[in-house]
Structure formats: C-alpha cells, structure tokens
C-alpha cells in the first residue's frame, strides 16, 4: 500500500478533474450523441472521446485501457441514466488505483 502523504490535495484535485470529465463526457457528449444517433453510438462516441482526451497526458499506449474504462463508465451512464454513479466510480478507480499500485 502506498504512503498517504499528500493524498488530500491530490485526491481533491483528482476528484474534481474526474467529476468534470464525467459531467462533460458522460453528461453532455454521451447524452447529445445518444439523442442524435442512438444509445450504442452515444456509448461508443463517449468512450472514444474519453480515450482520446487522455492521449496528450499518457500517450497512445494508454489508449486501450482508457477505451475500456470509457466503455465501462459509458455503460454505467446508459444503465443508470445518471452521471453521479459514473463520477463516483471514476473517482474511486483513480484513488483506489493509486493506493493499491
């Protein structure tokens, strides 16, 4: 388990960024594309956007795992119809992933 020094400011920043991402990608983009092109395309577009927006920071090697994570969160959005579960799952994965890495 990682040491927890500095986790509060980092955790708060990570939670903020993850929540903004969910509000925009799942809340707006997926919702918009679902309205325009249907549920499946909405899911795929939001997963693609989510993976693409992480490329500048993590490189192309991170694209497969981001695509998979994007698909999971998009599925959660389609299933629940809400953004909050996606934001909670996203923040939990970020912080949990760091703590147990």
Residues in touch with other proteins (CB under 8 A): 2-3, 5-7, 9-10, 13-14, 17-18, 20-21, 23-25, 27-29, 32, 34, 39-40, 43, 47, 49, 53-54, 56-59, 61-62, 64-81, 93-94, 97-98, 101
| Shortest CB 31 distance to other proteins, Å | 9
| Shortest CB 96 distance to other proteins, Å | 10
| Shortest CB 84 distance to other proteins, Å | 15
C-alpha to C-alpha distance for 61 and 27, rounded to whole angstroms: 26
Residues listed for the chain = 101
**3-class DSSP state of 59:** coil
Phi-psi region of 81 (alpha: psi -120 to 50; beta: other; left: phi over 0): left
Q: Which two tokens stand for residue 65?
A: 């795992």
């Amino acid at each position: 388990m990682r040491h927890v020094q500095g986790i509060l400011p980092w955790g708060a920043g990570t939670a903020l960024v993850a929540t903004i991402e969910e509000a925009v990608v799942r809340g707006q983009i997926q919702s918009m594309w679902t309205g325009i092109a249907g549920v499946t395309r909405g899911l795929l577009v939001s997963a693609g956007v989510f993976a693409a927006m992480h490329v500048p920071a993590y490189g192309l090697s991170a694209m497969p795992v981001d695509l998979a994570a994007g698909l999971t969160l998009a599925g959660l959005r389609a299933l629940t119809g809400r953004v909050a579960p996606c934001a909670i799952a996203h923040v939990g994965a970020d912080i949990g992933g760091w703590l147990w890495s």
